[in-house]
Amino acid sequence: MVDETKLEALDIFPWNENFETGIEEIDEQHKTLIMLLNKLANSLTQDETFEIEETFAELAEYAKYHFESEEAIWKKYIHEQSLIDEHKDSHDSFLPEVIKIKEENSHKSIHEIIEEILLFLIRWLAFHIIDEDKRLALVIKSIQEGKEINEAKFISNHKMSGSMKVLIEAILSMYDNLSLKAIKLIRERKARIKAQKELRAINKKLEELSITDQLTELYNRRFFEDTFDIELKKAKRNKTILNVILFDIDYFKKLNDTYGHSMGDKALVCVAKCVKEVCKRPNDFAFRIGGEEFTILITNEDFGNAYQLAQILQKEIDKLQIPNKNSEVSEFLTISAGIVELLPQEKDSIESIMKLADERLYKAKELGRNTIVKD
């Protein structure tokens, strides 16, 4: 599946040589404005409103800087105040129009509001550059060629009329259609991105469900076997210690018979919660591998650490004070554990290690339960 978030950005407002005024500083600023406008359009594919708002603020701030910079350039060459004032009025109308659009669409989402603003910006900016800015640029060119202001204005108006006026109208119409199509494409892309995210979330949840015991929310037996295989190979390759704690609940059948299976399930959940609180390190893996039987796999630790962790777990479970009055060890729930700590050799396998852990767990039961056996 193609990741839409990594696709090339859409140009909702492509730069065109018809927008060039011939004044390098102004043309470069116009290119930056258009780049920010395209950036704002592409931000609409994201769910995060702060990114949209930040990009909009960046565009607004740069527009303010550009207007001031552009007006300074006009004043430098053109000394007829009426021309300067007329152009400044156009600049001054920009922000109020944007605010008006925001207010009129305040009942809509931020994405819909920005779409409306984009349509306005494209039309306004295209007309402003290709008509108003180019008119003044032509006036400046004539003045630099030695013409008087009135003659320069006449030349500018003449060049901007006739076929040029038709061209301007054609370009504006083209950009109107282009902007509508681009907005539609952005909406479609956003919908695809949303669908992708939802699908990834579903797949992630399904993956989690496939490796998780539904009652206790610990890893299940299937994931235990996969993880054990990976960690055993890694331990052999890196010559590191592998620790296994195999434990189960003492007299769990009596607990179920005495209090009912619902209480038994609650006991399993409480034990699992305790296990998760004790096994917080990244190299601790906890599993429910069946019934009342649990396994903890510990990697990259020294000898003795597994025994210490098992003791901590035993004490924490004892603090829970889960009733089990018919237990022959205690009136509360207890656990027994078998521990294997080894530097794996080539001959060692999951089966051989778990067989040894099981033998030590059986020995713990023979010793009276509520016991940990490590050798």
Catalytic residues: 292
Residue 241's alpha-carbon distances to 31, 233, 238, 343, in angstroms, are 61, 11, 9, 5
Measured CA to CA, the distance from residue 309 to residue 124 in angstroms comes to 69
Is residue 332 within 8 Å of 321, Cβ to Cβ? yes
How many whole angstroms separate alpha carbon 334 and alpha carbon 322? 9
- Rounded to whole angstroms, the Cα distance separating 334 from 368 reads 11
Phi-psi region of 48 (alpha: psi -120 to 50; beta: other; left: phi over 0): beta
Measured between alpha carbons, how far is 202 from 37 in angstroms, rounded to an integer? 34
Between the alpha carbon of residue 364 and those of residues 96, 207, 279, 359, the distances in Å are 81, 36, 22, 9
Alpha-carbon distance of 60 to 19, in angstroms, equals: 20
Percent of the chain that is helix, strand, coil (3-state, to 5): 65, 10, 25
Question: 302: helix, coil or strand?
Answer: coil
